[in-house]
């Protein structure tokens, strides 16, 4: 079965106070091997740093458009076991720290 890609999520319409939480909610539910894209009015590099800190190596990040008026980024979840540094038994969500409330099922 072929699935058509989703339209890019225009995060400019999401209130800043919940913008990253909204994107992380999508990331945590994104199946391995799938991707989605976001559109923003500035470089979303802070989101990338937060994502890498929370889920090291679990997601790809590809700029599609790099300003100056809009930025579009495709974010993809690596196939299970394909993350940088993944070893046997590694969680596909990027791992867990004490107190981490994960939604991936690990």
Q: In this predicted structure, what is the pLDDT of residue 3?
A: 52
pLDDT at 105 over 90: no
Per-residue model confidence as pLDDT tens digits over 42-78: 999 999 999 999 999 999 999 999 999 999 999 999 9
Q: Where are the domains of the chain?
A: 9-77
0.75 exceeded by the pTM? no
Average confidence (pLDDT) over 3-25? 88
pLDDT band at residue 80 using 50, 70 and 90 as cut-offs = confident
- 95 within 8 A of 85, measured Cβ to Cβ: no
Q: In this predicted structure, what is the pLDDT of residue 7?
A: 85
Chosen CATH of 9-77 out of 3.30.110.40, 3.40.50.620, 3.40.50.10470, 3.40.830.10: 3.30.110.40
Long-range contacts of 7-14 (CB under 8 A, 24+ apart): 8/36, 8/37, 8/38, 8/39, 8/72, 9/36, 9/37, 9/38, 9/39, 10/38, 10/39, 11/38, 11/39, 11/40, 11/44, 12/39, 12/40, 12/41
């Amino acid at each position: 079965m072929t699935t058509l890609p989703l339209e890019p999520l225009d995060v400019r319409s999401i209130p800043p106070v919940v913008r990253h939480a909204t994107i992380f909610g999508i990331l945590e539910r994104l199946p391995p091997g799938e991707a989605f894209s976001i559109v923003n009015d500035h470089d979303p590099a802070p989101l990338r740093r937060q994502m890498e800190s929370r889920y090291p190596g679990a997601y790809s990040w590809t700029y599609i458009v790099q300003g100056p008026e809009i930025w579009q980024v495709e974010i993809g979840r690596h196939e299970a076991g394909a993350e940088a540094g993944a070893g046997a038994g590694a969680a596909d969500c990027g791992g867990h720290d004490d107190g981490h409330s994960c939604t991936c099922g690990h």
